[in-house]
Structure formats: structure tokens, C-alpha cells
């Protein structure tokens, strides 16, 4: 965090300053801010966030032992540290992030990019951060810190010398993106796609559209919306941008896009794409698996070049990326049995993209094996969307369909009803049962996709398989 006096810190979060020891209102604090006492370092700011299973107030002493200089709390605790008492610890994170980013913006040339979409946020964030890191100090979320806690924590990592802040905005319901993006009013807002991910929480696809368009509304006047020209719902956000004095830059596969891919070839070692960036041709050799990641790369290039990055430099930086993120199309195992662990998030769109990638990268003589678990947060659409995945797996000719978990059973039933027979589709209630089956079933030349939502736990099954065949 940028240096702030205790008085300034208390003012930023509208808190009651309770001094300890030799501290005064003018004592300067500049350590990192965190809600995890294990992540606190010397001079840090510990935010005691109440949680579902534990309470951060219980860990103030641990934070002090780790070096915390001040604790933001919802009620005073017995601890040898200065405390700032606030009404809402999570809300204080947002208040502090708003103040810190505004101060940095006023002092320097900080440019802010916000990214949202039903799928691809984390990958696009990582790709854009890789490009921008070559241009100057860049702050971007670690892993998928994109909610009401994670997004402000990322924002609070900016310093006076930061040139770029890349924020990833997820949402579990309407209004959340507006609140998070409103903390920083991005210069550029990137919308990747509007799909069925989290549709249950939003109340349907049109409500998802409204939620994702909140980012376009939050872009500062005179700023830029980077929109997917191939997604009709995202494209329909262009009038919203115009109403708010925001220009539009398009990415996609069609001729209307400012940054587009005109030819894509998917292999087991990566993806080659011929690109046109503002009329100029480039060839991209992306080591990240999957044709769908080309769209994420296009979005990253569109945003980066809007910030003044040379297209050739942007492409060169993307070619250094070996893995988008752990558990996202992560190659494991060996050439003998290749495991693709993509079990951190799952939606109907990402399931379809991953299954198509499995089919594309499997050579003649090799066998396709899909290990599939449940997709979460689909609400009333849960049943029919799991049916669609089972149907697609059969139509793509996936040779072994292994469905894991009772919540995913409809995938198996649909695969059976659509013509899978002779053990082509099997079902197991637990990951351990599936592991035992796969260890006896997999053979040289198999290409195995492991895909589910995070809560299904199949990412750990993917790791086990990767280790077994490494």
C-alpha cells in the first residue's frame, strides 16, 4: 500500500482510531493490506474480516506477531496494536481501495483496465498483465481474486510508480460489478462474453447481460470499451458505451473486428493464429491449449494496443505464456498419457470449448477420455445444461466419458440415451472411485480432459492422474 498516516487511514475507512504504544495520528503505515494473518508482513495492515466458518478478530494477535502495524476491526480486541474500529470490515477494504487508487491516479500516469465476462476473465487478465509488465510496473490479481474482498486487495497493491492496474471483476449477482468497478472507474473495460455461467445467481441470461454491462457503464467518460464482436449480447453493449461517452474497440473472428483472428490451428502443443491488428498482419503461436483462448488473446491485444503498446511487442509477450493459470487447460502427465486439468471453473460454454479442444488435439490412433463433473450456479437451468454436455460429448465422438459425482449424473444418463454403449460412458459417485477406474483403464496414447466446477473437486483428481502418468 502507498504510505498513509494512521489518521489518513482512519479517515479513508471512516473508522475510530485507537492508538497503541508510541503510535501517533501521524505515524506512517506502508505495508501490504490483507485479510489473512498468514500473509501479513512487517508494517502490514490486517483487516479482521468476519467469515462463515471463522472470525478474523481471532487472528489479530497472529497478525501482530507477523508484523502488522495496525488492525482494522469491527470491535476492539485485546491486542498490542493500534486498531481502527469500523462498522463493516469488508466495506472498509472498498473504501480504502477507492482512496488509494485515486491518490495514485492523481499523482502519476496510472491506467486502469477492468475485465469481466462469463468465461475467460482470469486467462485474459494474465495475458494482458504479461503484455503490460514489459511496459511498466503492473498490478494484477493473483489467481482469481475478483470479488468484494479480492478486487480491493488487488487495488491496494498499487504504488506511486505503478503504470497499470488490471482488475478482474466477477459477480454472484446484480450490482456487484458496478460496485467493484465504481471503486476505480476504469479507463478501459473489457467484456469477453455473456454466457450461462452463474446464470442461476443472476436469474437468467438477460440478467447476466445486465450485470456484465455494468462494467461498460463504469468506464470513465472518454474511455474505451473493448467488446467481443462475435457475441451478440456483448455487441449489444455498444449503445450503452455511446450513451456514456465511451468509445468501442472490437475483437473477434469477423471482418468488423479491429483485432481479429483470420485463421486458427489447434494442436497438442498450443494454438497458432493469424491475426489482423488494425489492418496489420501478425502470427501468434500461443502455447496455451484451446481455440477458445485465442479470443482471450485478442481481447488482451485489443486492450494493450489501446494503451499504446506496439502490436508486435504484445504478440511476442503472449508467446512467452506457457500456462494461463493452474487448473485451466493445464497439461500434465506425459506424451504417453496426456492429462489436461481444466477443473477450476466450469460453465456450459467452457465445458463445450474444453471438449472441442480435446477432440481437436487428439491424433489418429489416440483415444479421447473426458472426466466430467458438475457445473455449479446454473439454477433452474442445471438439468438441461448438464444434458447438453452429455449430448455434446457423444456427438464429438469422445471415446470414454467418465462422469463423477451425483450432481453430474445427468451427463451420464444423457450420454447413454444418445447412443453411448459398451462402457463408453461410466459413472462414479466419488473421485476416488473414478481414479481407481482410470488407473486400470487408461493406456498409452490416451488424451484425458478433467473438467468440472471447482467445488466438485476434480482438479485434485486431475493432479493425481498427472502425477501417476508423469
Instruction: Kindly report, residue by residue over 31-68, the tens digit of the pLDDT.
Output: 999 999 999 999 999 999 998 788 999 999 999 999 99
Domain identity same for 27 and 132: no
- Last residue within a domain, chosen from 318, 342, 361: 318
- For 265-278, the pLDDT digits (tens) are 988 888 999 999 99
Question: Measured between alpha carbons, how far is 431 from 458 in angstroms, rounded to an integer?
Answer: 7
Q: Look at 364 and 81; give whichever has higher pLDDT.
A: 81
Residue 98 lies in a domain: no
Residue 361's Cα: distance from chain center in Å?
24
Residues 6+ apart with CB under 8 A from 82: 6, 17, 18, 19, 20, 21, 23, 27, 69, 70, 71
Bigger pLDDT: 197 vs 101: 101
Residues 307 and 248 grouped into a single domain: yes
Is the pLDDT at 319 greater than 90, yes or no? yes
Q: Are strands 70-73 and 45-47 parallel, antiparallel or unpaired?
A: parallel
Share of residues in the chain with pLDDT > 90 (%): 81
In this predicted structure, which of 223-227, 378-382, 425-429 has the lowest mean pLDDT? 378-382
Cite the DSSP H helix spans in 147-268.
Answer: 150-155, 176-181, 199-202, 205-218, 232-235, 238-243
For residue 424, tell me if it sits in a domain: yes
User: Around Cβ 200, how many Cβ atoms within 10 Å?
Assistant: 16
Q: What is the pTM of this model?
A: 0.88
Residue 294 lies in a domain: yes
Cα 102 to its chain centre, rounded Å, is 24
> Residue 174's pLDDT band (boundaries 50, 70, 90)?
confident
Question: How many whole angstroms separate alpha carbon 300 and alpha carbon 306?
Answer: 10
C-beta atoms surrounding 417 within 10 Å: 13
Is the domain of 242 the same as that of 115? yes
Claim to verify: residue 248 and residue 383 sit in the same structural domain: no
198 lies in a domain?
A: yes
Model confidence pLDDT, tens digit, residues 97-107 = 999 999 999 98
Residue 465 binned pLDDT confidence (cut-offs 50, 70, 90): very high
pLDDT band at 328 (very low <50, low <70, confident <90, very high): confident
- Tell me which of 268, 291, 318 is where a domain ends: 318
Residues 314 and 337 in one domain: no
Cβ partners under 8 Å of residue 421, min gap 6? none
User: Is residue 58 domain-shared with residue 125, that is, in the same domain?
Assistant: no
Distance CA 255, CA 443 (A): 44
- How does DSSP assign 7-40, residue by residue? HHHHHHTT-EEE--TT--TT-EE-S-EES-GGG-
Q: pLDDT higher for 323 or 66?
A: 66
Domain count, the chain: 3
In a domain, 114, yes or no: yes
Main-chain dihedrals φ then ψ at residue 422, nearest 5 degrees: 55, 45
Domain that holds residue 339: 330-468
User: How many CA atoms lie within 13 Å of 240's alpha carbon, on the beta-carbon side?
Assistant: 22
Do 190 and 272 lie in a common domain? Answer: yes
CATH code where residue 231 lies: 3.40.1190.10
**CA 465/CA 109 separation, integer angstroms:** 47
Least confident piece of the model among 203-207, 219-223, 402-406: 203-207
Give the pLDDT confidence score for residue 421 in this predicted structure: 57
| pLDDT at residue 117 is higher than 90 | yes
Clarify whether residues 192 and 115 are in a common domain. Answer: yes
| Residue 29 covered by a domain | yes
SS3 state at 258: coil
In a domain, 101, yes or no: no
Residue at a domain's end among 318, 345, 380: 318
Beta strands 247-252 and 224-228 are parallel
Question: What are the strands of the beta sheet with 330-333, ordered from one edge?
Answer: 330-333, 338-342, 446-451, 367-372, 400-404, 425-428
Same domain, 192 and 283: yes
Rg (CA), the chain: 24
List the beta bridge partners of residue 46: 34, 71
Check if the beta carbon of residue 412 is closer than 8 Å to that of residue 426: yes
The C-alpha torsion from 249 through 251 and 255 to 261, rounded to 10°, is 150
pLDDT of res. 200: 56
Q: Identify whether 102 is part of a domain.
A: no
Amino acid at each position: 500500500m502507498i504510505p498513509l498516516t494512521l489518521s489518513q487511514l482512519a479517515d479513508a475507512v471512516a473508522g475510530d482510531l485507537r492508538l497503541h504504544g508510541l503510535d501517533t495520528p501521524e505515524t506512517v503505515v506502508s505495508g501490504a493490506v490483507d485479510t489473512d494473518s498468514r500473509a501479513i508482513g512487517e508494517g502490514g495492515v490486517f483487516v479482521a474480516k468476519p467469515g462463515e466458518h471463522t472470525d478474523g478478530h481471532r487472528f489479530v494477535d497472529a497478525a501482530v506477531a507477523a508484523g502488522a502495524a495496525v488492525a482494522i476491526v469491527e470491535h476492539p480486541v485485546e491486542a498490542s496494536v493500534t486498531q481502527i474500529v469500523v462498522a463493516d470490515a469488508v466495506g472498509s477494504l472498498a473504501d480504502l481501495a477507492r482512496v488509494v487508487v485515486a491518490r495514485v491516479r492523481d499523482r502519476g500516469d496510472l491506467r486502469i483496465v477492468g475485465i469481466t465476462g462469463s468465461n475467460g476473465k482470469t486467462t485474459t487478465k494474465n495475458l494482458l498483465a504479461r503484455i503490460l509488465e514489459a511496459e511498466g510496473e503492473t498490478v494484477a490479481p493473483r489467481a482469481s481474486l475478483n470479488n468484494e474482498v479480492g478486487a480491493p486487495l488487488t487495488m491496494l497493491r498499487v504504488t506511486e510508480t505503478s503504470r497499470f492496474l488490471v482488475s478482474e471483476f466477477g459477480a454472484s449477482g446484480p450490482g456487484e460489478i458496478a460496485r467493484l468497478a465504481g471503486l476505480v472507474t476504469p479507463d478501459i473495460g473489457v467484456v469477453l462474453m455473456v454466457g450461462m455461467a452463474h446464470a442461476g445467481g443472476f436469474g437468467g441470461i438477460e440478467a447476466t447481460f445486465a450485470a456484465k454491462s455494468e462494467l461498460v457503464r463504469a468506464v470513465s467518460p472518454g474511455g474505451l470499451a473493448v467488446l467481443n464482436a462475435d457475441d451478440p449480447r456483448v455487441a449489444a453493449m455498444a449503445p450503452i458505451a455511446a450513451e456514456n461517452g465511451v468509445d468501442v474497440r472490437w475483437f473477434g473472428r469477423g471482418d468488423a473486428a479491429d483485432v481479429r483472428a483470420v485463421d486458427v490451428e489447434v494442436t497438442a502443443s498450443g494454438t497458432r493464429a493469424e491475426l489482423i491488428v488494425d489492418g496489420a498482419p501478425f502470427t501468434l503461436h500461443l502455447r496455451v491449449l484451446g481455440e477458445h483462448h485465442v479470443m482471450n488473446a485478442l481481447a488482451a491485444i485489443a486492450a494493450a494496443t489501446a494503451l499504446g503498446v506496439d502490436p508486435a511487442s504484445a504478440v511476442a509477450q503472449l508467446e512467452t505464456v506457457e500456462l494461463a493459470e493452474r487448473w485451466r487447460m493445464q497439461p500434465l502427465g506425459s506424451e504417453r498419457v496426456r492429462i489436461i486439468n481444466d477443473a477450476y471453473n466450469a460453465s456450459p460454454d467452457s465445458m463445450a470449448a474444453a471438449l472441442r479442444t480435446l477432440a481437436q488435439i487428439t491424433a489418429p490412433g489416440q483415444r479421447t477420455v473426458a472426466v466430467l463433473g458438475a457445473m455449479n450456479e446454473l439454477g433452474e437451468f442445471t438439468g438441461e445444461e448438464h444434458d447438453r454436455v452429455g449430448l455434446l460429448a457423444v456427438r464429438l465422438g469422445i471415446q470414454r466419458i467418465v462422469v463423477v459425482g451425483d450432481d453430474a449424473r445427468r451427463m451420464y444418463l444423457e450420454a447413454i440415451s444418445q447412443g453411448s454403449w459398451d462402457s463408453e460412458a461410466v459413472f462414479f459417485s466419488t473421485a476416488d472411485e473414478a481414479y481407481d477406474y482410470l488407473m486400470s483403464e487408461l493406456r498409452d496414447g490416451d488424451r484425458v480432459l478433467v473438467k468440472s466446477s471447482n467445488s466438485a473437486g476434480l482438479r485434485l483428481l486431475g493432479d493425481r492422474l498427472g502425477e501417476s502418468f508423469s
